[in-house]
């Protein structure tokens, strides 16, 4: 088991990418369905005023440090955090090893057609991969029983849910026992990037910890969300003072 670092009331696992992948593989073999969350600064900030989300994250089997903000926060609090484990990258690593281990995926979420495009992309990048179902993420409450049975009957090992934060986490927590899928991961905009509708920041920007800026530039509708970052920094700083 890895150490967990408490950031703004949420326990985040201090794992490397390799450890996160290993943990997910182990979770597939466990009896009870597991939830894996990818915690970026925005999610951690939201959890400070959304108790339902906070409780879901603290009950999750694995919470990876998604984003430069999360890694910075842990280190600012004087804790060990080996590296950033971005949700998108975690999905790629899992897909890479999936054919050899016969790990099957279900892609749930994003606009109509996007999960299918992400499936095609995965099939070309990772030959032999089994994507056993897709379903878009725009639905009414009435559609849920059908979605649940579609996912359940797919017999996937990993359910990737891209409904945005906190909808995906809440949906997974509500239905995980009914779905009986071994591991569910909330993956945000991952299918959009795989489908090629949203671009990932170039590597140099990721390395300069500027992925958030790239996203805001590309999708100006998200720019308002940038206010979360200084708020996050302030709150983490307050926690540091309080922890002393």
For ligand UDP, the binding residues (CB under 6 A) are 109-111, 137-138, 162-165, 167, 188-189, 191-192
In the complex, least distance from residue 80 CB atom to ligand UDP, rounded to whole angstroms: 26
Toward ligand UDP, which CB reaches closer, 18 or 120?
Answer: 120
In the complex, least distance from residue 165 CB atom to ligand UDP, rounded to whole angstroms: 4
- For 227, which DSSP code? G
Query: Which two structure tokens, joined as six digits, stand for 47?
Result: 């959890």
Classify each residue of 61-75 as buried b or exposed e, where b means 16 or more C-beta atoms within 10 Å of its C-beta: bbbbbbbbbbbbbbe
In the complex, least distance from residue 78 CB atom to ligand UDP, rounded to whole angstroms: 28
Toward ligand UDP, which CB reaches closer, 14 or 53?
Answer: 53
The angle formed by the CA atoms of residues 109, 228 and 84, to the nearest 5 degrees, is 65
Toward ligand UDP, which CB reaches closer, 77 or 206?
Answer: 206
Toward ligand UDP, which CB reaches closer, 68 or 163?
Answer: 163
Residues whose CB falls within 8 Å of the CB of residue 83, separated by 6 or more in sequence, listed in order: 16, 17, 65, 71
Do the beta carbons of residue 16 and residue 82 sit within 8 Å? yes
In the complex, least distance from residue 242 CB atom to ligand UDP, rounded to whole angstroms: 28
Toward ligand UDP, which CB reaches closer, 104 or 215?
Answer: 215
Can you list the alpha helix ranges (DSSP code H) found in the chain? 17-28, 41-47, 51-59, 68-76, 87-101, 114-125, 144-154, 167-179, 190-194, 203-207, 211-218, 228-243
In the complex, least distance from residue 82 CB atom to ligand UDP, rounded to whole angstroms: 23
Tell me the sheet residues that pair with 228. none
Indicate the residue whose CB is closest to ligand UDP: 137
Residues 56 and 173: their CA atoms lie apart, in Å, by 7
Residues 238 and 131: their CA atoms lie apart, in Å, by 44
Toward ligand UDP, which CB reaches closer, 29 or 230?
Answer: 230
Toward ligand UDP, which CB reaches closer, 165 or 183?
Answer: 165
Do the beta carbons of residue 43 and residue 187 sit within 8 Å? no
In the complex, least distance from residue 199 CB atom to ligand UDP, rounded to whole angstroms: 12
In the complex, least distance from residue 198 CB atom to ligand UDP, rounded to whole angstroms: 7
């Amino acid at each position: 088991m890895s150490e967990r670092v408490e950031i703004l009331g949420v326990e985040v696992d201090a794992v490397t990418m390799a450890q996160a992948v290993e943990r997910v593989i182990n979770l597939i073999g466990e009896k009870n369905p597991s939830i894996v969350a990818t915690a970026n600064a925005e999610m951690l900030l939201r959890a400070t005023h959304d108790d339902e989300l906070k409780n879901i994250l603290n009950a999750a089997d694995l919470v990876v440090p998604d984003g430069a903000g999360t890694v910075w926060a842990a280190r600012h609090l004087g804790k060990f955090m080996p590296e950033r484990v971005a949700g998108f990258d975690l999905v790629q690593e899992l897909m890479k090893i999936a054919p050899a281990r016969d790990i099957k995926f279900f892609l749930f979420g994003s606009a109509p057609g996007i999960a299918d495009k992400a499936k095609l992309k995965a099939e070309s990048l990772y030959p032999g991969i089994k994507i056993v179902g897709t379903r878009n993420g725009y639905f009414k409450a009435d559609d849920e029983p059908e979605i649940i049975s579609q996912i359940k009957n797919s017999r996937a090992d990993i359910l990737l849910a891209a409904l945005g934060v906190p909808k995906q986490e809440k949906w997974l927590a509500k239905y995980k026992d009914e779905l009986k899928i071994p591991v569910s991961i909330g993956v945000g905009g991952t299918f959009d990037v795989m489908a090629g509708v949203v671009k990932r920041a170039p590597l140099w920007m990721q390395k300069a910890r500027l992925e958030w800026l790239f996203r805001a530039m590309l999708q100006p509708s998200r720019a308002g969300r940038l206010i979360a970052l200084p708020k996050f920094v302030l709150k983490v700083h307050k926690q540091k003072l309080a922890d002393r």
